[in-house]
Chain A
């Protein structure tokens, strides 16, 4: 079992490495780091620009594979992801921002998965009943709505709620209220309230996807022979479905969890911007708009590591749920 997980981890590790290297090459070829200096007034001399680019390790005159090699060596030897165009170390910038994004992503995807799985099981057991129809149409509606629209709609709803209550019940701009002082608890509560709307948006997106898949897998399992046998043993319908159905139906879902995590990451980038969170999403967008190759590569590495861990986690889940793959 441990060996199985380890083997999968190594597998995913190399996949992440390849993905990151490809991202570095693509961003190096597509982005033009010198462009922003040509637009300056007074324009810096050619030599100055060359020096800056060389200092960042993004000079387009150096072959791209050579630059990739230098970048990798720098990571391995100095543990550094290079410096951004603003002169600050990419590693430091990511560390200061990662917490914001991870808080949103982990809470959102976890609750989204739980809500989605529950709704899927519920929908399968009550197939074609009113509650199933509501969940089905609701999830299609969310699927069809762009992430930022969901965010904006939630903001409008929250504003209306605040107006109706006559006080600031839900605050949603930024991660915390600027200048707020107080005890540790008060600060945590403030952050929690700020996190509410983007988390709801992420949960909605996640749950819409999970519930559809969980419903179809569960429907397959419902007609399985062992469910009938469990009922023939004397179990009630519901206990047979929960004890025998859900666990089997979760097995393919654990794989889906790993794949959908990537989608959630991109969804959360949009949400961070809508809700003015200074997280990795904003960082990634700024990096691209500023032609900051090191920052784009660093962001890709960050996401690759997230996906590496979520994939490995899904393998652990798979092995925990299905004894047949353990040896």
Chain B
């Protein structure tokens, strides 16, 4: 990983020169019905040639808006209302559309966030790369075609020539991101803006792609403006950090300095809550001095979690609540005409969960972990094998028996935006499972809603609000409350914190741990994020391509992973190499 950090020799030579990009007091606002809402409030930053600078912040902090303002492609009604964006001494804010067109692509490349939505689904890959080359007059005609192949090969698609005529849906997420990086660098721009270029990808893929991006930009001498919500990632990939909070820069300077010694309270909280970093600290808190714990107790979960972990270790040897034996799930996929191929999404998976403990199911996307959750929840039927819950075989339950099972095993899903009905207010959402199972009178249900809102630390007044009026963290609390409404024994948490910002993620994990102790819940925790696993799980099952490749206690997996795949996953956690907080 050290290869991706640009040697200080490079930038010390450049420091004497004019900065490549200098933003001064940038103000960006969005026009709404209630007037201009400021999104970026007086941001200043400086980037020298050949440097990498990362803007870090949670969603809504204005980091993406800042990036889009530089190339003047603000979404919707956004506009620059003040300040300067000096690129090689020229103020981009004052340029006309025509002049900006010449800057985009040729001088400033852009790598967008979501590889799924940023490639046009109806044009082939070759066309979409070639148009970037032609638009910037890098090459025309046959030369442009040759250049397209070259650009894609450099971006890491070795078989580019054969794949030019393929469409985005025939590429994996990682491949698409490589295409987008290729497009961003196709005209050899002086500055590359990479807006969360890998946040939609698995950690192992993320690492490969960022390594590759680092190599390319170093070879070309391209400066990189890197936008991310992940502090560990930023520290690893950029030598300069700018921390943004609510549209303002709260801290900036060399990455290592900021992470070692965060000055602003927000940065301190961010450092403390980042699970990728915390995953190391739990360990140290156990063995090392207790002052660690005190420093971070403000916003962190460590103290309580460590205590809980110890408690759970001593927990009695109870019987397995869930016992999954040799389950498999086969999907039939239609290929050409009437032919089918068979896809073994889950292949001979066995595990057991003891009452009151948390088992994490970890793996990359496509590893089959979410399918296991669906099978356990009886949302899909298993092809073979056996699922036992509380001593009873539950596969193929129907009618009233299935309803009874559902009462005891409840899910919480990843996307708190998609899993709540926008037409239902919070009170009705939480009461819905009670109504579906015909439990209690109207007044009793109201009382239960009150109790549940209290349990997830939301005020009683929240019950009349609608999902669109709540933040992501609040919505996920509602989803947890709804899952708890029926007083279940088991919660299946399918990537339940993956869509949340680090600080909110920490709060929800804390809440889940508290509820577990309070209500004696059993969790099946499905995630791609190993760092989160360390915080909450007692046991870990690592899945790869439909199989469980390693099953062990959390400590074993983190301290001495047996399988090379697990080691790979662990090594790919961003920021794992850094020593923070001291």
Q: Which of B71-109 contact A (CB under 8 A)?
A: 71, 73, 75-76, 97-98, 101-102, 104-106, 109
Task: Find out whether the CB atom of A234 lies under 8 angstroms from the CB atom of B105.
Answer: yes
Q: Chain A: residues with CB nearer than 8 A to chain B?
A: 3, 223-226, 228-237, 243-244, 247-248, 251, 321-324, 327
**Nearest B residue to A233, CB-CB:** B132
B135 on interface, CB distance cutoff 8 Å:
yes
**A226-B118, A232-B110 known; A327 vs B336 contact (CB < 8 Å):** yes
Task: Find out whether the CB atom of B121 lies under 8 angstroms from the CB atom of A229.
Answer: no
Shortest distance between the CB of A304 and any CB in chain B (Å): 27
Cα–Cα, bound, A234→B72 (Å):
12
Cα–Cα, bound, A229→B123 (Å):
14
Cα–Cα, bound, A236→B96 (Å):
12
Between A and B, 16 residue pairs with Cβ closer than 8 Å are A3-B337, A223-B75, A225-B114, A228-B112, A229-B112, A230-B131, A232-B104, A232-B184, A233-B186, A234-B101, A235-B131, A243-B131, A247-B123, A248-B122, A251-B122, A323-B122
Task: Find out whether the CB atom of A234 lies under 8 angstroms from the CB atom of B117.
Answer: no
Task: Find out whether the CB atom of B167 lies under 8 angstroms from the CB atom of A324.
Answer: yes
Task: Find out whether the CB atom of B117 lies under 8 angstroms from the CB atom of A233.
Answer: no
Cα–Cα, bound, A15→B381 (Å):
34
Q: Chain B: residues with CB nearer than 8 A to chain A?
A: 71, 73, 75-76, 97-98, 101-102, 104-106, 109-110, 112, 114, 117-124, 131-132, 135-136, 167, 169, 180, 183-184, 186-187, 335-337
Task: Find out whether the CB atom of B167 lies under 8 angstroms from the CB atom of A232.
Answer: no
Cα–Cα, bound, A233→B180 (Å):
10
Q: Choose one: A235, A244, A321, A323; the contact of B167 (CB below 8 Å).
A: A323
Shortest distance between the CB of B335 and any CB in chain A (Å): 8
Shortest distance between the CB of A266 and any CB in chain B (Å): 33
Q: Is the interface of A mostly helix, strand, loop or mixed?
A: helix
Task: Find out whether the CB atom of A237 lies under 8 angstroms from the CB atom of B122.
Answer: no
Q: Which A residues are in CB contact (< 8 Å) with B122?
A: 247-248, 251, 321-324
Cα–Cα, bound, A324→B167 (Å):
8
Shortest distance between the CB of B343 and any CB in chain A (Å): 16
Q: Which A residues are in CB contact (< 8 Å) with B121?
A: 226, 248, 322-324
Q: Which A residues are in CB contact (< 8 Å) with B335?
A: 327
Shortest distance between the CB of A74 and any CB in chain B (Å): 35
Cα–Cα, bound, A323→B127 (Å):
14
Shortest distance between the CB of A230 and any CB in chain B (Å): 7
**Which 8 pairs between the two chains have the least Cβ-Cβ distance?**
A234-B105, A232-B110, A233-B132, A234-B135, A225-B117, A226-B120, A323-B167, A229-B118
**Nearest B residue to A323, CB-CB:** B167
Q: Which B residues are in CB contact (< 8 Å) with A235?
A: 101, 131, 135
Q: Which B residues are in CB contact (< 8 Å) with A327?
A: 335-336
Task: Find out whether the CB atom of B101 lies under 8 angstroms from the CB atom of A229.
Answer: no
Cα–Cα, bound, A248→B184 (Å):
23
Cα–Cα, bound, A236→B124 (Å):
20
Q: Which A residues are in CB contact (< 8 Å) with B180?
A: 229
Cα–Cα, bound, A225→B184 (Å):
15
Task: Find out whether the CB atom of B118 lies under 8 angstroms from the CB atom of A225.
Answer: yes
**A244-B123, A324-B169 known; A3 vs B117 contact (CB < 8 Å):** no
Q: Which A residues are in CB contact (< 8 Å) with B109?
A: 232
**Nearest A residue to B195, CB-CB:** A232
Q: Which B residues are in CB contact (< 8 Å) with A226?
A: 117-121
